[in-house]
Amino acid sequence: MQTTTLIEPNTQQYTPDEAHAKPATPRAHCRFCATPLNHTLVDLGMSPLCESYVSRQNLNRMEPFFPLHVQVCDECFLVQLEEYVSVEQIFSEYAYFSSYSDTWLQHAADYVEMIVHRLGLAKGSLVVELASNDGYLLQNFVKKNITALGVEPAANVAKVAIEKGVPTMIKFFGRKLAQEMVADGKAADLVIGNNVLAQVPDLNDFVAGIHTLLKTGGVVTLEFPHLIKLMAENQYDTIYHEHFSYFSFITAEKILAAHGMTVFDVEELTTHGGSIRVFARHANDTSKPVSDRVVEMRQRELHQRLDRMDTYATFGEKVKESKRNLLDFLIRARREGKSVAGYGAPGKGNTLLNYCGIRTDFLDYTVDRNPYKQGKFLPGTHIPIFSPDRIFETKPDYLLILPWNFKQEIIRQMGRIREWGGKFVVPIPAVEVID
């Protein structure tokens, strides 16, 4: 005799609509030049949204996963991820608060000193930052009595900025908002975009908006992780659904030029594993000549063949080898009976752990200074997140640093793990154990 057990789907807990998935396009097109995309840079498989930390009451619910398939345009060489998830879904509530990193706060303060001096900004100047987060940067202008205005779509982080005294518009930026701002007397002497260009699905609308927002004679500075570094140093974990585009200098220059702006200077930065800061102006503003550094950077990228498709073909295999090496280390450590905890719960950690398939079988838990993340679980892998105190209670043998871009800061802060023989492990660019 057979009995049939009906397992009812748990419909009340999850509807496909919650995922806000975009329907698949027959073939994706370049978000800058609209050429059909035919070349894969790397395919990291399926991954959850890396900022969607899971609360305890949702642990048993379904979790949406989306592809992390990165392509390269063979016309303009823009490296890009399709907008698999609507941007409203990603940025309506954002767990990333810039102010939780001392290094990043210092970077912002140094930038403000430099740019105020360089552009001669004073009372009466208007500075606008796009994706101004919790006001980590603009607060420095406010202290100098320079009018600052943030534009930030994530209401929860914008609220923190407003409470700090940094005026912030809770909006997505683009051409239309720029026109409204200019009509409202808010044309900017300086527009700042730090790590935002990557997060914009409609790149052309956003960059056109910058051109509109700039006052005659105004300057825009944009910082973004440098694609050269991403590829040379295996930083595949900086790929996540929030990052739609990955820029070389030559491609960024091309995009700005298409919208009437000229890059007149460039700086290399150590932030986020190696970024560049470009300075651009209206193309017809001849008061700011193009520096030699621009010419050098362009030549260096051409010398490294970033304008050739074969340069992009080998990255995928490098990423697979990096995964094997990290797993190899963890398997050996666990077989030897060592305990491994994580430090940090950054977006990049979630790409790394999901791609490598690292769960609590390898990593007991992780810690983060951000109280918003403590008590929650990492998306996909469900590794629990505690306060950093936990490290000193459990004394793990290894501490895997997930935000490796802040490794020096973390090694300084957590140096006491050496008291019990604890060692630091950095996964990127290659597995490195630091005593």
Q: Closest distance between Zn ion and the C-beta of residue 78, in Å?
A: 5
- Contacts of residue 82, Cβ cutoff 8 Å, sequence gap at least 6: 22, 25, 28, 67, 69, 71, 244
Is residue 219 a contact partner of residue 48, using CB atoms and an 8 Å limit? Answer: no
In the complex, minimum distance from the CB of residue 74 to Zn ion, in angstroms, rounded to a whole number: 8
User: What is the footprint of Zn ion within residues 219-238 (CB under 5 A)?
Assistant: none
CB of 46 to Zn ion, least distance (A): 25
**Contact with Zn ion (CB under 5 A): which of 28, 44, 50, 73?**
73
Distance CA 115, CA 121 (A): 8
Site for Zn ion in 315-354 (CB under 5 A): none
Q: Cα separation of 142 and 424, whole Å?
A: 39
**Contact letters for Zn ion, residues 272-311 (x by CB under 5 A):** ----------------------------------------
Between 36 and 415, CB nearer to Zn ion: 36
Q: Please count the residues of this chain forming the interface with Zn ion, following the rule CB under 5 A.
A: 8
8 A C-beta contact, residue 134 and residue 109: no
| Shortest spacing between CB 71 and Zn ion, in angstroms | 10
Q: Which of 103, 102, 121 is nearest to 112 (CA)?
A: 121
Minimum CB–partner distance for residue 35 and Zn ion (Å): 5
**Toward Zn ion, which CB reaches closer, 33 or 109?**
33
- Residue pair 81/38 in contact (Cβ under 8 Å)? The answer is no
At closest approach, how far in Å is the CB of 227 from Zn ion?
A: 14
Rank residues 73 and 385 by Cβ distance to Zn ion and give the closer one: 73
Measured from the CB atom, the residue of 54 and 227 that comes closer to Zn ion is: 227
DSSP for residue 158: H
Residue 371 buriedness (CB in 10 A; 0-12 / 13-18 / 19+): exposed
User: In this complex, which beta carbon is closest to Zn ion, that of residue 231 or of residue 426?
Assistant: 231
Indicate the residue type of 270.
Answer: T
- Helix or strand or coil: residue 24? coil
- Tokens 């748990």: give the residue: 10
Residue 171 in tokens: 């909006």
Report the candidate in 63, 54, 53, 61 with the shortest Cα–Cα distance to residue 21.
Answer: 63
Binding of Zn ion at residue 76 (CB under 5 A)? yes
Span near Zn ion by CB under 5 A; candidates 71-79, 134-142, 222-230, 387-395: 71-79
Q: Whose Cβ is closer to Zn ion: residue 80's or residue 221's? A: 80
Stretch that binds Zn ion, among 77-85, 180-188, 255-263, 307-315 (CB under 5 A): 77-85
* Length of the chain in terms of residues written: 435
In the complex, what is the shortest distance from the CB of residue 215 to Zn ion, in angstroms, rounded to a whole number?
A: 30
Provide the residue type at 151 as one letter. Answer: V
Q: Report the residue number, 169 or 239, with the smaller CB distance to Zn ion.
A: 239
Residue 311 structure tokens: 């340069």
Q: Looking at beta carbons only, is 35 or 179 nearer to Zn ion?
A: 35
Q: How far apart are CA 334 and CA 345, in angstroms?
A: 21
Least distance in angstroms from the C-beta of 316 to Zn ion: 20
CB of 137 to Zn ion, least distance (A): 30
* Ramachandran angles phi, psi of 310, nearest 5°: -65, -25
State the minimum distance, in angstroms, from the CB of residue 427 to Zn ion: 31
What is the torsion angle, in degrees rounded to the nearest 10, for the CA atoms of residue 190, residue 193, residue 194 and residue 195? -170
Residue 272 three-state SS: helix
Q: Which of residues 10-69 bind Zn ion (CB under 5 A)?
A: 30, 32-33, 35
Residues 213, 187: contact at Cβ < 8 Å? yes
Nearer to Zn ion among residue 134 and residue 253 (C-beta): 253
With residue 218 as reference, give the H or E element that holds it.
Answer: strand 214-225
Q: Which residue among 18, 75, 328, 361 contacts Zn ion (CB under 5 A)?
A: 75
Closer CB to Zn ion, 157 or 203, in the complex: 203
What residues make contact with Zn ion under the rule CB under 5 A? 30, 32-33, 35, 73, 75-76, 78
